[in-house]
Structure 1
Amino acid sequence: MIAVIIDLCATFVETCGFLYLLKNEKVEIKRKIAFLFCEIIYAFCLTHFISNLRIDAKIILVVLSLIFLGKFVLKLSIAKSAFYMIIGSLLLLSSELIVMQIEMLFNTNSGKPFLVNLEGIIANKTVYLTLVYMVQRIISDISMKKMSLKSLALFFFSNIGYSCVAVCINLILVSLQDVVEPIILLGCSIIILVAFVANIIFTDKFFALEDQEQKQNIAIYKLQLQAKYYEEKTVEEEKIKRIYHDMKNHLLLLEQMNGAQIEDIHKLRQDISQYENYYRTGNKILDIILKDKLLTAEKYNIEIDDNIDLSGVNFLEALDISTIFGNLIDNAIEANTMLSTDQGKYIKISAAKKQHFLVICIQNSKAFEKKKKKVIHGYGLINVTNAVHKYSGEINITDGEREYTVNIIIPIPKD
């Protein structure tokens, strides 16, 4: 009876370790409790009613049950369930091997099987929980990522070697104890554990890089769509401008006709007058970008000061113009919206040829920061930098207390 209670307590601790590994996942408490009870009952039945199974078969069944419960009880994705449960199982196996080999090394068997068994279980679970705590900190951001089957397969096959070697050591441990020095087996187990933890670290880094690449690709795709939008809008704007000039003349005639609704005509002229005020920067794409972005800025009462002349500057691709000016103006608008008052909001934009260089400067007001922090503008600024470097240009950023300045210099290619 005491042995059964000890076994149940040990299984409880092991299952809690698995739950701790995924503590950052958004799992309901009732599901965690259900997982705990299901795994305890399953492990108890596997140990006491199917005791004639080989240890390797038991390990496989336990891992499969954990993955199954993680998927259908905890409602994790199959990839995340397999990831967490495989890690937890290998940590559990590693802790058991290490404790067993330490017992062999120091010959802890003093003729008191119960005490030795109890002390071994306590030591085993202590090592296991320590490993779980350390590894959980390494993989704490996994819950924020959508793991793919490709990532799971990479993790599984990179760890299959550790699993096979660990199981083999466990299977032949008793038969080798009289032939091989225990210190050798202990050293092998520790090396396997260290390699396994290192692989978890590299796997986590791989997931982070994969996630970063995915976000970067999404950002580039959005820029491509934005550039296409501006190209299409350029054609549309040209049509509207031609229509406006014809319509303006027609409205002037209508105003002079008897019985015409002068007020209605005047209102119509005001509605279409916005198409008479458009930018002429020397680049049609940039004209559309400025009109679009600066209309947004005006909604937030941001004062605009622009001095742009890109006449003769035709080496920049539409996507790169959209990337550089679109992202930087978006950042400037966002920084201004952080100000508590409408007074003092401004964006200054200048761009022109100076000798053999295209010089771009964008300045904007920003909220005062008492504690200096590194400003991160995410993938937008990364894409701006990449676009500038594409033309062998340089970008310099000055993050002042109340003003943010971006200076860009791009050499103009010789014809």
Structure 2
Amino acid sequence: MGFFSKKIDKKVASYQQELMETHYQEVDNMYRQIRGWRHDYRNHIQTMKAYAAAEDWDAIKRYLDLLDEDLMTVDTVLKTGNPMTDAILNSKISLAKSKNIQIVADAHIPLKLKSSEIDLCCIIGNLFDNAIEASVKLPEDQRLIRVYMDMKSTQLYISFTNFTASRKMKKEGKLFRSTKGQGHGFGLARINAIVERLDGYISCNSEDGAFTTEILLPQT
């Protein structure tokens, strides 16, 4: 095995290790969130039992109305129409929210896509990781990630926008310079390689403190 092949293998191994660590962090955060929901659910049941024991039916009705209003104002799960996309987006959204990053997401994906789930997972995962990494460097009130995904005719359109600490990032070739190191750079190159293999289109723009990545993937 040549020096170049060994170097690539090390990059792949480092990238895979990074994915595993990120995945563990996401699952751990979601587990903590579920435990919180269970705790709240038990408290709600106990409160309504107390009202029922006192036969205070008006109090139960008011409490149920409050719970209904609370559920209407908190949307914890993004439903795109595609199960795999739901899984990766919601795990990343959960991770971002644990870091006090505001998420504005609107995604509508067909159940069946030409693009493989592995390719799409890699693209979405890396885009979200990049946005989270940039966001945590900002004050909490400036942390915002916008995600938009939808079909445009026969192409899947993906757009990620986040604010950055620097006013304008430096572009080197087709990619923007990253502060995360070689492993992250390999991830960005991976996205470009996937988009190119799928005969897609990618555009990155850094302007006025906002970084936007747009991708089009043919689905015919």
| TM superposition score category, shorter chain reference | 0.5 to 0.7
Deviation at 1:372, TM superposition (A): 4.1
2:123 to 305, 308, 324: 324
Q: Please say which structure displays the higher CA radius of gyration.
A: 1
Give the match for residue 143 of structure 1.
Answer: none
* Aligned counterparts of 2:22 and 2:101: Cα–Cα separation in 1: 23
Give the match for residue 94 of structure 2.
Answer: 295
Q: Which has the higher contact order (CA 8 A, sep 6+)?
A: 2
- In structure 2, relative to structure 1, the CA distance for the partners of 1:225 and 1:323 (3 Å cut) is farther
Structure 1 runs not aligned, ≥5 long: 1-149, 151-205
3-state DSSP class of the match of 1:349?
strand
Deviation string, structure 1 residues 300-322 (Cα, Å, up to 9, x no partner) = 33221111100344333322222
CA contact (8 A) 1:226 1:322 kept: no
Structure 2 runs not aligned, ≥5 long: 179-183
Give the match for residue 181 of structure 2.
Answer: none
Bigger strand share: 2
1:379 to 181, 186, 192: 186
* Aligned counterparts of 2:195 and 2:112: Cα–Cα separation in 1: 15
Is 1:212–2:8 an aligned residue pair? yes
* Aligned counterparts of 1:343 and 1:283: Cα–Cα separation in 2: 31
* Aligned counterparts of 1:295 and 1:372: Cα–Cα separation in 2: 30
Instruction: Give the share of equivalent positions with the same residue, in percent.
Output: 26
Q: Which amino acid aligns with 2:162?
A: N
3-state DSSP class of the match of 1:314?
coil
2:211 to 404, 410, 413: 404
3-state DSSP class of the match of 1:343?
helix
Q: Which amino acid aligns with 2:7?
A: D
3-state DSSP class of the match of 2:141?
coil
Give the match for residue 358 of structure 1.
Answer: 156
Is 1:390–2:189 an aligned residue pair? no
Q: Which amino acid aligns with 1:388?
A: V
Q: Which amino acid aligns with 1:285?
A: M
- In structure 2, relative to structure 1, the CA distance for the partners of 1:209 and 1:412 (3 Å cut) is same
* Aligned counterparts of 2:132 and 2:51: Cα–Cα separation in 1: 44
1:346 to 144, 158, 163: 144
Give the match for residue 53 of structure 2.
Answer: 258
* Aligned counterparts of 1:281 and 1:210: Cα–Cα separation in 2: 40
Q: Which amino acid aligns with 2:128?
A: I
TM-score, normalization: structure 1? 0.37
TM-score, normalization: structure 2? 0.66
Question: What's the Cα RMSD here?
Answer: 4.0
Instruction: Map 1:1-150 to 2 at 5 A.
Output: none
Deviation string, structure 1 residues 342-364 (Cα, Å, up to 9, x no partner) = 23321111110011111111111
- In structure 2, relative to structure 1, the CA distance for the partners of 1:410 and 1:333 (3 Å cut) is same
For this pair of structures, how many residues does the alignment match?
185
- In structure 2, relative to structure 1, the CA distance for the partners of 1:371 and 1:318 (3 Å cut) is closer
